[in-house]
């Protein structure tokens, strides 16, 4: 009951904040999902080389104009490997489209990531470095490279809710000029052993033109994990 009240209070705050900022600039909504499979589970093997090695698909829809117009749509397809409790790497390919000057342009992006993790009992600190290249196909083909650095704090001391705070910096590829920043807060509600639902709020700023975006976040995540299911089903009632 407390968890449900906390969730509704957080959603109410998000709506109030969004309406306030919408008076100055239209509010956005990003709706995403993620489906993840551990290779050890897919191939039904206990090969150590495949342990903590995941493949995933993550489609997302982005709205602007006070959440009434589709601004972008895409899906990420990637793989990530957690080498130990301190280091993880990832490779990701994004396919989709984004609205620009009244029309939707096809985009694809490659992203390469390295994550450093500092785990503790009820929280986790991490720093994620990503280098990405983006191709935009419109009237002309535009190639853009970006280096991103994301710092995340995640608290998991609550029974069914995890709290995540993050701040991300964006830099140019050659001069490493600081170009954008993005901050967000997110609540993850555990549905069961394999899935969770999240809500959050994001603010980002383009330092080149001064534009700011205010976005409500909503997401669903599911992962194939037979080990957790078996452990749950074999536990005493």
Q: Which of 165, 123, 199, 159 is nearest to 1 (CA)?
A: 159
C-alpha 142 chain-centroid distance: 25
Other C-beta atoms lying within 10 Å of the C-beta of residue 43: 10
Q: What pLDDT band is residue 193 in, cutting at 50, 70 and 90?
A: confident
Q: Which of 81, 79, 35 is nearest to 57 (CA)?
A: 35
Residue 142 or residue 39, greater confidence: 39
pLDDT at 138: 66
Q: What pLDDT band is residue 43 in, cutting at 50, 70 and 90?
A: confident
pLDDT digits (tens, 9 = 90+) for 80-98: 999 999 999 999 999 999 9
The single residue listed with the structure tokens 């991490």 is 126
Structure tokens at 145: 């490279």
pLDDT at 233: 41
pTM: 0.83
pLDDT above 70 covers a percentage of the chain that reads 82
pLDDT at 14: 55
pLDDT digits (tens, 9 = 90+) for 170-192: 998 777 899 999 999 999 999 98
Domains of the chain: 2-234 (2.40.160.40)
pLDDT at 235: 41
Q: Which of 120, 122, 125 is nearest to 153 (CA)?
A: 125
Mind giving me the DSSP string for 168-235? EEEE-SSS--EEEEEEEEEEEEE-SSSEEEEEEEEEEEETTT--EEEEEEEEEEEEE-HHHHHHHHHS
Residue 194 or residue 152, greater confidence: 152
């Amino acid at each position: 009951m407390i968890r449900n009240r906390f969730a509704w209070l957080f959603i109410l705050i998000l709506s109030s904040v969004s309406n306030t900022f919408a008076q100055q600039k239209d509010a956005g909504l990003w709706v995403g999902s993620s489906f993840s499979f551990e290779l050890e589970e897919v191939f039904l093997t206990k090969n150590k080389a495949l342990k903590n090695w995941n493949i995933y698909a993550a489609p997302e829809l982005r709205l602007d104009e006070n959440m009434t117009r589709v601004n972008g749509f895409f899906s990420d397809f990637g793989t990530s490997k957690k080498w130990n409790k301190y280091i993880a790497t990832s490779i990701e390919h994004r396919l989709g489209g984004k609205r620009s000057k009244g029309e939707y342009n096809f985009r694809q992006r490659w992203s390469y990531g390295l994550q450093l993790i500092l785990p503790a009992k009820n929280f986790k600190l991490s720093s994620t470095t990503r280098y990405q290249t983006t191709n935009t196909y419109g009237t002309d083909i535009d190639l853009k490279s970006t280096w991103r650095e994301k710092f995340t704090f995640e608290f998991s001391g609550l029974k069914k809710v995890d709290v995540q705070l993050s701040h991300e910096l964006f830099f140019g590829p050659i001069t490493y000029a600081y170009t954008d920043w993005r901050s967000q807060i997110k609540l993850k509600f555990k549905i069961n052993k394999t899935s969770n639902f999240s809500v959050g709020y994001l603010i980002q700023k383009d330092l080149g033109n001064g534009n700011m975006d205010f976005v409500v976040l909503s997401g669903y995540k599911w992962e194939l994990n037979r080990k957790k299911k078996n452990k749950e089903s074999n536990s005493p009632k």
